[in-house]
A and B are shown apart, each in its own frame.
Chain A
């Protein structure tokens, strides 16, 4: 009769108890099952595609160049040729009013703005700028914040104290005021900037992108640093050190993978935040600069026409709303997928 010990050496047959699964695969599966999040993702991608297709729309569908003023232009409405700027039009019957929405994709779909430009086409171009700045600054912000958080959390001590204090000071600045201050200063340079060999024009989209990324770095830094600190103290890191792992290896192989999920959860939410911030700054004329347009600038252009041609202001707002909404829903879905506590606790 074999003893239990000998049996152990032979190796028993087991019914599979716990099937080990890659946590990323698990998360991916959970996300794929979340239909609402997938719908949100689809909506967001649709908006991105439409915005990127702005030049195509302008050239092939609407046949306009929406950027230069078109005060004396004409377009076709219901088969008739009409002036883009109407005399004494609108309910107020004062001066010149641009035409309202024709709901005709080929001709001034959403009407014209006060410079006679095709609002529909501008809307798509505006989406381009808003999305580029939004996504760009969110990515920049997360990258920068992660790097600083890794350094601060890993090295601890004085390094951590100094970096965290700097973050606190940036955090202390009223977000919009800081952005506005920096933008104002930079805007006085109408000839652009010279960074060594690099010339950045004043109207470059990089400026608002970098400014917005900068002001939100503390916002991402805090949770990521918290996660780094939580991981740094875990035993598997100690074990790695005991095996003689160097700093670089520790940071990249042990700590970073465990921190990445925090950043991934934050990313869609940050894009939502940066898009809203960019639109506000552009509304105040300190964001995206002419000749570029963004949803925020179009809303600003539309304020003078608010009571006569409301669609000029309403349409970009709806676009922002839909984009940010889809990002928020997606962000929720990503967070639920990556959160291990989402799985039911079955206590023994």
Chain B
């Protein structure tokens, strides 16, 4: 098992390396684009262009350029955004991370609990009207674009019905750090949490229900029943335990993707200044250094999540553990 983990980690490092190379190529080597100009943002002065050329070694061979870029992101962490008044990018990302983590952790908690409830309920209530009802709701959750749901939520909670008792507690859009004002932190995150989790409740509820129904037809569940153990035990110890394997691995991947900046739509719509929001702003301003750094940050988390999921999967399913 240990060699398996080590091999996976080495593979992770390799993939990260390849990703950074690809990012480098995209931003530095697209034909026809002068990287210095692109990095400098709007209306660069000749002096700024010269600075950039030196910092990134744009006149030097490719591997050197790559090395310099990596250095400024990881080691000296002095990658500077030229379109944003010389703000240091890496600390900026670090400062934005708590917001993203708050959003994603909260939403994940809600969606896991609700998805399990929905999935199990739909499977148990199969044959009644509740099963298709739950599945239709789940399907709607999956089919609505998350940024639109957020806008509609804002419309309702900030606009039309803001003055009613239902939503008067909703603070204006934005994020308040937990350490600054816990209550406000919470109140400001409730609607974003719900918005973000709707999609995933739908997705995971459906997946879980399908898995449970499939597993219930498995031979070993039949054996479990033949052994005379209670229906509840059959559900929990046999059916659910096996169905959750897929659920857990999917969860790991999605969670990782969200932390990596995949929640950017939600962050933008609700004005939460997390990593996703940062990415979006960088995008709007064509702020290349920030975009590069956020992509590398994001890729790192995704690859990490993939690795954790792979290792976790082996732990959950003894059949695929390497002997």
Binding site for B on A (CB under 8 A): 168-169, 172-178, 180-182, 184-185, 188-189, 272, 276, 279-280, 283-286, 296, 299, 302-303, 306-307, 310, 313-314, 316-317, 320-321, 324-325, 328-329
Q: If the complex has contacts A188-B38, A276-B145, A317-B145, are A181 and B303 also in contact, measured as CB distance less than 8 A?
A: no
Q: B143 touches which one: A280, A313, A314, A324 (CB < 8 A)?
A: A324
Q: B264 touches which one: A176, A302, A313, A316 (CB < 8 A)?
A: A176
Tell me, rounded to whole Å, the shortest Cβ–Cβ distance linking B32 to chain A: 6
Q: If the complex has contacts A181-B27, A188-B286, A299-B151, are A329 and B139 also in contact, measured as CB distance less than 8 A?
A: yes
Q: If the complex has contacts A169-B18, A185-B26, A328-B139, are A299 and B262 also in contact, measured as CB distance less than 8 A?
A: no
List the B residue with the shortest CB-CB distance to A332.
Answer: B139
Is A188 within 8 A of B306, CB to CB?
Answer: no
- A168 to B303 Cα, complex, angstroms: 10
Is B261 within 8 A of A174, CB to CB?
Answer: yes
- A146 to B241 Cα, complex, angstroms: 33
Asked if B13 CB lies within 8 Å of chain A CBs, one says no
- A310 to B156 Cα, complex, angstroms: 10
- A316 to B147 Cα, complex, angstroms: 12
List B contacts of A178 (CB < 8 A): 295
Residues facing A in B243-295 (CB within 8 A) are 257, 260-262, 264-265, 268, 279-280, 283-284, 286, 291, 294-295
- A314 to B154 Cα, complex, angstroms: 12
Is B306 within 8 A of A185, CB to CB?
Answer: no
Is A321 within 8 A of B283, CB to CB?
Answer: no
- A280 to B149 Cα, complex, angstroms: 12
Tell me, rounded to whole Å, the shortest Cβ–Cβ distance linking B193 to chain A: 19
Q: What are 21 A-B residue pairs whose CB atoms fall within 8 Å in the complex?
A: A169-B19, A169-B22, A172-B303, A173-B302, A174-B260, A174-B295, A174-B302, A181-B27, A189-B32, A272-B143, A276-B145, A283-B145, A283-B265, A286-B283, A296-B145, A306-B154, A306-B155, A317-B149, A320-B143, A321-B143, A328-B142
Binding site for A on B (CB under 8 A): 15, 18-19, 22-23, 26-27, 30, 32-33, 38, 139-140, 142-149, 151-152, 154-155, 158-159, 257, 260-262, 264-265, 268, 279-280, 283-284, 286, 291, 294-295, 298-299, 302-303, 306
List A contacts of B148 (CB < 8 A): 279, 299, 313, 316-317, 320-321
Is B151 within 8 A of A306, CB to CB?
Answer: yes
- A328 to B199 Cα, complex, angstroms: 14
Is A174 within 8 A of B299, CB to CB?
Answer: yes
List B contacts of A173 (CB < 8 A): 19, 22, 299, 302
List the B residue with the shortest CB-CB distance to A316.
Answer: B148
- A279 to B147 Cα, complex, angstroms: 9
Interface centre among A185, A314, A321 (most CB of B within 10 A): A185
- A316 to B33 Cα, complex, angstroms: 35
List the A residue with the shortest CB-CB distance to B146.
Answer: A280
List A contacts of B144 (CB < 8 A): 317, 320-321, 324
Tell me, rounded to whole Å, the shortest Cβ–Cβ distance linking A271 to chain B: 12
List A contacts of B298 (CB < 8 A): 174, 177
Q: B140 touches which one: A177, A272, A283, A325 (CB < 8 A)?
A: A325
List the B residue with the shortest CB-CB distance to A325.
Answer: B143
List A contacts of B15 (CB < 8 A): 168-169, 172
- A143 to B172 Cα, complex, angstroms: 47
- A261 to B132 Cα, complex, angstroms: 25
List A contacts of B27 (CB < 8 A): 181, 185
Tell me, rounded to whole Å, the shortest Cβ–Cβ distance linking B102 to chain A: 19
Is B33 within 8 A of A188, CB to CB?
Answer: yes
Q: Ordered nearest first, which 4 A-B pairs have the shortest CB separation?
A: A317-B148, A324-B143, A325-B143, A307-B159
Is A299 within 8 A of B139, CB to CB?
Answer: no
Is A181 within 8 A of B291, CB to CB?
Answer: yes
Is B155 within 8 A of A310, CB to CB?
Answer: yes
List A contacts of B291 (CB < 8 A): 180-181, 184
List the A residue with the shortest CB-CB distance to B262.
Answer: A174
Is B143 within 8 A of A328, CB to CB?
Answer: yes
List the B residue with the shortest CB-CB distance to A314.
Answer: B152
- A52 to B78 Cα, complex, angstroms: 51
Q: If the complex has contacts A188-B286, A189-B32, A306-B151, are A172 and B299 also in contact, measured as CB distance less than 8 A?
A: yes
Is B283 within 8 A of A284, CB to CB?
Answer: yes
- A272 to B261 Cα, complex, angstroms: 22
Is B303 within 8 A of A325, CB to CB?
Answer: no
Tell me, rounded to whole Å, the shortest Cβ–Cβ distance linking A158 to chain B: 17
Is B151 within 8 A of A313, CB to CB?
Answer: yes
- A169 to B283 Cα, complex, angstroms: 23
- A285 to B268 Cα, complex, angstroms: 13
List A contacts of B143 (CB < 8 A): 272, 320-321, 324-325, 328
- A178 to B260 Cα, complex, angstroms: 12
Tell me, rounded to whole Å, the shortest Cβ–Cβ distance linking B240 to chain A: 21
List B contacts of A174 (CB < 8 A): 257, 260-262, 295, 298-299, 302
Interface centre among A302, A316, A328 (most CB of B within 10 A): A328
Is B306 within 8 A of A172, CB to CB?
Answer: yes
Tell me, rounded to whole Å, the shortest Cβ–Cβ distance linking B171 to chain A: 16
List the B residue with the shortest CB-CB distance to A92.
Answer: B159
Tell me, rounded to whole Å, the shortest Cβ–Cβ distance linking A261 to chain B: 18
List B contacts of A169 (CB < 8 A): 15, 18-19, 22
